[in-house]
């Protein structure tokens, strides 16, 4: 049985344990609700969405699965760019969480997180996007530029633009 993730401390414990055992240099990028939680969001999440960059990813994936199991965490690996294009410059906006042994952990670009959440548009996703904007982690004008950039390269462009307009309406007083 997995445990809901309710605090950054749970994620830091996972990263510390992972870093203590990581067999090779690797970069771990956390996104989704866990990424928002690490940025200060208060919503609980059920899993840790991540993507990995390592020379021998299978060994690191095995370790990740082992540590997640030991800590009763549900981890979901995916590659965000396989679902939709990421905004231009995303690779320059990742936020360093820290170095944990040979593992370096990042929060995926907050604008990319917001675009993915707008695209999916679950109620919890929209709450996360509103938090990111209201907390000043992302700027609405820049997010709009990111939406337009992604929409220009995305097969669901009209839907993405419509969902972004809905987010802007939620920001109205």
Residue ranges of domains in the chain: 8-109, 113-170
Q: What Å distances lie between residue 82 and 51, 79, 85, 86, CA to CA?
A: 11, 6, 7, 9
Chain centroid to CA 143: how far?
A: 15
SS (H, E, C) 61-114: HHHHHHHHHHCCCCEEECCHHHCCCCCCCHHHCCEEEEEECCEEEEECCHHHHH
Rounded (10°) CA dihedral 39, 112, 23, 77: 100
CB–CB of 81/117 below 8 Å?
no
Predicted confidence at residue 42, as pLDDT, reads 87
Entry field: residues in the chain: 173
Strands 48-54, 26-31: parallel, antiparallel or unpaired by DSSP?
antiparallel
pLDDT tens-digit readout, 85-120: 999 999 999 999 999 999 999 999 999 999 999 999
Coil, helix or strand for 53? strand
Looking at residue 45, what DSSP letter applies? B
CB–CB of 105/122 below 8 Å?
no
Rounded to the nearest integer, the mean pLDDT of the chain is 95
Question: Per the structure block, which two tokens stand in for 42?
Answer: 């208060």
- Block residue for tokens 């294009």: 85
Q: pTM score, two decimals?
A: 0.94
pLDDT tens-digit readout, 37-82: 999 998 888 899 999 999 999 999 999 999 999 999 999 999 999 9
Please give the Cα distance from 71 to 55 (Å, whole number).
Answer: 25
Res 1 pLDDT > 80: no
């Amino acid at each position: 049985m997995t445990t809901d993730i309710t605090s950054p401390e749970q994620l830091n414990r996972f990263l510390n344990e992972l870093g203590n055992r990581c067999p090779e240099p690797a970069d771990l990028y956390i996104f989704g609700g866990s990424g928002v939680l690490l940025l200060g969001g208060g919503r609980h999440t059920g899993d840790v969405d991540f993507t990995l960059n390592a020379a021998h990813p299978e060994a690191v994936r095995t370790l990740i699965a082992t540590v997640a199991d030991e800590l009763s965490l549900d981890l979901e690996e995916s590659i965000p760019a396989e679902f939709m294009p990421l905004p231009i410059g995303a690779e320059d906006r990742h936020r360093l969480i820290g170095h944990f042994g040979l593992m370096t952990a990042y929060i995926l670009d907050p604008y990319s997180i917001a675009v993915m959440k707008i695209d999916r548009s679950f109620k919890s996703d929209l709450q996360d996007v509103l938090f990111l904007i209201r907390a000043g982690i992302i700027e609405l004008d820049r997010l709009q530029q990111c939406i337009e950039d992604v929409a220009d390269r995305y097969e669901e462009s009209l839907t993405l633009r419509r969902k972004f307009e809905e987010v802007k309406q939620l920001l109205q007083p």
